[in-house]
Amino acid sequence: MVPGMLGWVVVGVFIGFVASKFVNLRGDDPKLGMAAAVFGAFVGAIIYRIASGVEVRAWNWHSLACAAVGGVIAVILWHLIRSRTISHTSYRARQSH
């Protein structure tokens, strides 16, 4: 059970990391997007678990795929909501020092 949940977390962190590289965050902390992806991965995997009736096992590929889909949906929703609440007039691009 724990290795399966750990897999969901890893999938969520990976999706959040990739999404933070593709989306212009407008100075937002990328950890928030990663947290949204982990939450979405858990929700997606739990929905799969309830719908299929399969126990949580280590490296169940269907469960990980549903976790990935849930993570992607959560990141998209997070950035849609976040982009509406950010003031676009005071935009400063992120710069690496």
Confidence of residue 2 (pLDDT cuts 50, 70, 90): confident
Question: Percentage of the chain surpassing pLDDT 90?
Answer: 9
**Contact of 9 with 62, CB cutoff 8 Å:** no
| Tally of domains in the chain | 1
The DSSP call for residue 56 is: P
Query: If 0-12 CB within 10 Å is exposed, 13-18 middle and 19+ buried, where does residue 36 land?
Result: buried
- Is 17 part of a structural domain of the chain? no
Domain assignment present for residue 55? The answer is yes
8 lies in some domain: no
pLDDT digits (tens, 9 = 90+) for 55-95: 877 677 888 888 889 988 998 888 888 777 665 565 566 67
Please check the confidence at residue 28 and state whether its pLDDT lies above 90. Answer: no
Indicate whether 58 belongs to any domain.
yes
Q: Does 46 fall in a domain?
A: yes
Q: What is the pLDDT of residue 91?
A: 57
pTM of the model: 0.76
Q: Which domain holds residue 42?
A: 30-83
